[in-house]
Chains A and B, each alone.
Chain A
Amino acid sequence: MPRAAAPPLDVDRLIDDRRTRIIVCCGSGGVGKTTAAAALGLRAAERGRHVVVITVDPARRLAQSMGLSSLDNTPRPVPGVATAGPRRDPGAGQDEAGEGGSLHAMMLDMKRTFDEIVEAHADPDRAAQILANPFYQSLSSGFAGTQEYMAMEKLGQLRRADEWDLIVVDTPPSRSALDFLDAPQRLGRFLDGRLLRLLTVPAKLGGRAYLRVLNVGFGMVTNVLTKILGAQVLRDAQTFVTALDTMFGGFRERADYTYQLLREPGTSFLVIAAPEPDALREASYFVERLALEGMPLAGLIINRVHQSPAARLSAARSLAAAETLQADGQLADTPAGEQRTGSGQPQDESHSLAIAALRLHAERMQLAAKERHVAENFTAAHPLVPVAEVPAQAEDVHDLAGLRAIGESFTTW
């Protein structure tokens, strides 16, 4: 088929390579990212890796399919994983694994993760004080960026624990894939920001001088903020930041440090997209951003791609054939579709089944053509990015067999 040739993404090679320690699945919301991450984890485990999947907010049935019934922030073994041992091509990786792998999965609880950081770094009294702070409570449960940051924290913790040789991260659902990279740093920068310090430190000369440079009265700024936010909010923020500072010397450094993990060798990014203009536009932004940040991109997985086993019958011919049959059928004047047509029964002369099949096929071919077009647009802009396609599934995934099927399709497209 003529196609702007994207290099094929060899998912098995990626997961079989023992040097791959972290795979981050990114993409905009609604593209099947969580399912892809779970399928990837399962496949890696069944090919001999010891895998943990960190997921955020999975569909109930997907969670059940992995045996996750509760949100408890701890990796749990996934039952039913076939750990028969590796079936790998020789030469795919260098360290041949002798035994079967394993799969663990966990759902991220961002508030609990944050609480645990606080508890681990402060004495009990201070920790209790922070946990009770209203500003901390809104920060840990609702702030833009907290979820992304806590996913990174958890990744760091699991990496340091070194109990798994492959960590698959499903990034939090958000409109933009870039949020995963931007939000935590934005959060760190904010908490570390000049303004917060300026306003929370009792007005010293330094602060005032800084403001005077900008020709704004200090009083005016605090006035405005106090008016729109209230004095209590500012006080809570101040208490919190002061307490946090003494704990680990600045939020931003910690965020930066955590992000270093993403640049280390052994980390790979997989961008997941649906074959739709919006999702692939986001994927494009993300690919460009990863290059800019020096973060390693393994490739793009295009999810839910429509294919046809009868691709040689074009949409136009299929529709024309349906119309021919329809015209014939109207002459024969048989009520469409109401007739039993099992074996031994008289044949349905209206050919309603064939008409339906041809119309559906035409639709599918049109959809496939459109999807191919947007995928080609992506490849035209990023010719070097390897691509794998996952065919659309007729049903929601609800068991390991479904996940396994998706994992297999990573490579047999």
Chain B
Amino acid sequence: MSTRDTDWEGVRLHVVTGKGGTGKTTVAAALALALASGGKRVLLIEVEGRQGIAQVFDCPPLPYEERKVAVAPATATRPGGEVYALAADPEHALLEYLEMFYNLRHAGTALTKLGVVDFATTIAPGLRDVLLTGKAAEATRRREGGRHVYDAVVMDAPPTGRIGRFLNVTAEVSGLARVGPTRGHADTVQKVISSPETAVHFVTVLEEMPVQETLDGIAELAGLGDGGLQPGGIMINMVHPLVLSPDQLRTAASGSVDEGELALGLKAAGLEDSRQLAAALAAELVDHARTVTGERTQRRRLAAPRQPRYDLPMITGGIDLAGLYRIAAALRDQGAA
């Protein structure tokens, strides 16, 4: 079973973006778990310096170092896998870069003290981005003994509003040195990001603003890099389970619920005060039906870009490791990994 087809066969760098509050980090972590199952090794990178991965996996803050944070569970037919994580920050990435190209490791400390690193990454936000995307690209391409060190790399990327700029590496550094290592580095990074090896996934919930940002984001990708970046899946997070029939949904959304019928049911279930309770539950049904109807409108809008869509379950009771595994399973079941 380990060779079953997924929607993203051949993709090795998964960029995960989404509007704030949609669960981007959680979904990125779940995707890493899903990709790792089957004996794979996956690296999960965060780039915003907020230690979101450590929180999701409930482990101590991550250093600038690739660390194992979770195992993907083995099943009867598949071996487990490993998820490594890295909290990338521009400062360390720049020092690493200076060492790589100029052998300037010692000067690094002095440069940091002087604020040179901070200065360089502030004065040129594009440099900051290229250092971070560069780290992901490097990990994606890294080989040892003739094979890739990581089977896949998942990047918990900046939110949708900033993703275009973040991934448009070459254009971002165009104001910088036109020759030399920065440019060369940017070109290499852009090549990886623009290749079919990279896909940009969008996490959304079924509300107006996040859906709009998803549609805008997907449209924006076409104009980035060398001939556009590959849009990935639309991860629809926190989907309400369907509990009403289409008829019931329509009626309830219009504000009318048959309280008599409801009361009979409650009575049959042995609940007291069934009439009064029915009125209260009817109000909840109407609320729910309106929410679900609004979500359907948003769902229809998400069909327009014709990208694969994945429904991820609403996890009540907070995301813990078990919730993460459930989301990972949903991603696998639907062919995202």
Q: Do A and B bind each other?
A: yes
Indicate if B207 sits at the interface (CB-CB under 8 A).
Answer: yes
Indicate if B244 sits at the interface (CB-CB under 8 A).
Answer: yes
* Chain A residue at minimal CB-CB distance from B131: A228
B291 x A227 contact (CB < 8 A): no
Q: What residues of chain B lie closer than 8 Å to A310, measured between beta carbons?
A: 277, 280-281, 284
B269 x A358 contact (CB < 8 A): yes
Indicate if A157 sits at the interface (CB-CB under 8 A).
Answer: no
With beta carbons under 8 angstroms apart, the residue of A336, A353, A395 that contacts B265 is A353
- Measured in the bound complex, the distance between the Cα atoms of B212 and A220 in whole Å is 48
* Chain B residue at minimal CB-CB distance from A279: B21
Indicate if A363 sits at the interface (CB-CB under 8 A).
Answer: yes
Residues 179-193 of A, flagged 1 when their CB comes within 8 A of B and 0 if not, give 000000000001001
Indicate if B92 sits at the interface (CB-CB under 8 A).
Answer: no
Q: What residues of chain B lie closer than 8 Å to A278, measured between beta carbons?
A: 55
The interface-forming segment of B69-77, B254-262, B300-308 is B254-262
Q: What residues of chain A lie closer than 8 Å to B208, measured between beta carbons?
A: 59-61, 396
Indicate if A313 sits at the interface (CB-CB under 8 A).
Answer: yes
Indicate if A1 sits at the interface (CB-CB under 8 A).
Answer: no
* Chain B residue at minimal CB-CB distance from A220: B107
Q: What residues of chain A lie closer than 8 Å to B159, measured between beta carbons?
A: 29, 175
Indicate if A355 sits at the interface (CB-CB under 8 A).
Answer: yes
Indicate if B4 sits at the interface (CB-CB under 8 A).
Answer: no
With beta carbons under 8 angstroms apart, the residue of A221, A277, A358 that contacts B281 is A358
Smallest Cβ distance from B43 to chain A, in angstroms? 22
The interface-forming segment of A13-21, A102-110, A320-328 is A320-328
B115 x A195 contact (CB < 8 A): yes
Number of A residues contacting the other chain (C-beta, 8 Å)? Answer: 79
- Measured in the bound complex, the distance between the Cα atoms of B50 and A264 in whole Å is 32
With beta carbons under 8 angstroms apart, the residue of A134, A143, A228, A322 that contacts B127 is A228
Residues 138-166 of B, flagged 1 when their CB comes within 8 A of A and 0 if not, give 00000000000000000000010100010
B245 x A321 contact (CB < 8 A): no
- Measured in the bound complex, the distance between the Cα atoms of B268 and A221 in whole Å is 81
- Measured in the bound complex, the distance between the Cα atoms of B269 and A310 in whole Å is 16
- A321-B271, A354-B269, A357-B262 are contacts. A309–B288 as well, Cβ < 8 Å? no
* Chain A residue at minimal CB-CB distance from B212: A60
Q: What residues of chain B lie closer than 8 Å to A28, measured between beta carbons?
A: 20-21
* Chain B residue at minimal CB-CB distance from A32: B21
With beta carbons under 8 angstroms apart, the residue of A59, A232, A342, A354 that contacts B262 is A354
* Chain A residue at minimal CB-CB distance from B317: A370
Q: Which residues of A in the span 350-366 have a Cβ within 8 Å of any Cβ on B? A: 351-361, 363-364, 366
- A142-B165, A214-B114 are contacts. A353–B258 as well, Cβ < 8 Å? yes
Indicate if A42 sits at the interface (CB-CB under 8 A).
Answer: no
- Measured in the bound complex, the distance between the Cα atoms of B123 and A29 in whole Å is 25
- A224-B98, A232-B175, A396-B207 are contacts. A353–B261 as well, Cβ < 8 Å? yes
* Chain A residue at minimal CB-CB distance from B264: A347
B277 x A370 contact (CB < 8 A): no
Smallest Cβ distance from A112 to chain B, in angstroms? 19
Q: What residues of chain A lie closer than 8 Å to B124, measured between beta carbons?
A: 229, 233
Q: Which residues of B in the span 89-129 have a Cβ within 8 Å of any Cβ on A? A: 94, 98, 102, 104, 107, 110-111, 113-116, 118-120, 122-125, 127
Indicate if A173 sits at the interface (CB-CB under 8 A).
Answer: yes
Which residue, of A144, A278, A357, has the highest number of chain B Cβ atoms within 10 A? A357
Smallest Cβ distance from A138 to chain B, in angstroms? 7
A30 x B269 contact (CB < 8 A): no
Which residue, of B123, B258, B260, has the highest number of chain A Cβ atoms within 10 A? B123
The interface-forming segment of B7-15, B29-37, B176-184, B328-336 is B176-184
Q: Which residues of B in the span 171-191 have a Cβ within 8 Å of any Cβ on A? A: 175-178, 180-182
- Measured in the bound complex, the distance between the Cα atoms of B314 and A364 in whole Å is 12
Residues 231-271 of B, flagged 1 when their CB comes within 8 A of A and 0 if not, give 00000000000011101100000000110111011101111
- A229-B177, A325-B269 are contacts. A354–B182 as well, Cβ < 8 Å? no
Q: What residues of chain A lie closer than 8 Å to B294, measured between beta carbons?
A: 394-396
Indicate if A367 sits at the interface (CB-CB under 8 A).
Answer: yes
A354 x B264 contact (CB < 8 A): yes
Indicate if B311 sits at the interface (CB-CB under 8 A).
Answer: no
B277 x A313 contact (CB < 8 A): yes
A237 x B123 contact (CB < 8 A): yes
B20 x A134 contact (CB < 8 A): no
Residues 29-44 of A, flagged 1 when their CB comes within 8 A of B and 0 if not, give 1110000000000000
| Chain B interface residues toward A at CB < 8 A | 19-22, 48, 50, 55, 94, 98, 102, 104, 107, 110-111, 113-116, 118-120, 122-125, 127, 159, 161, 165, 175-178, 180-182, 207-209, 212, 243-245, 247-248, 257-258, 260-262, 264-266, 268-271, 277, 279-288, 290-291, 294, 316-318
Not counting A233-B176, A317-B271, a sample of 10 additional A-B residue pairs whose C-beta atoms are within 8 angstroms of each other reads A30-B19, A221-B114, A233-B175, A277-B318, A309-B284, A328-B268, A343-B260, A353-B244, A354-B262, A357-B265
Q: Which 4 A-B pairs have the closest CB atoms?
A: A30-B21, A354-B265, A29-B20, A337-B245
10 examples of A-B residue contacts, CB within 8 angstroms: A28-B20, A59-B209, A224-B111, A313-B271, A342-B258, A343-B258, A352-B248, A354-B269, A357-B265, A360-B243
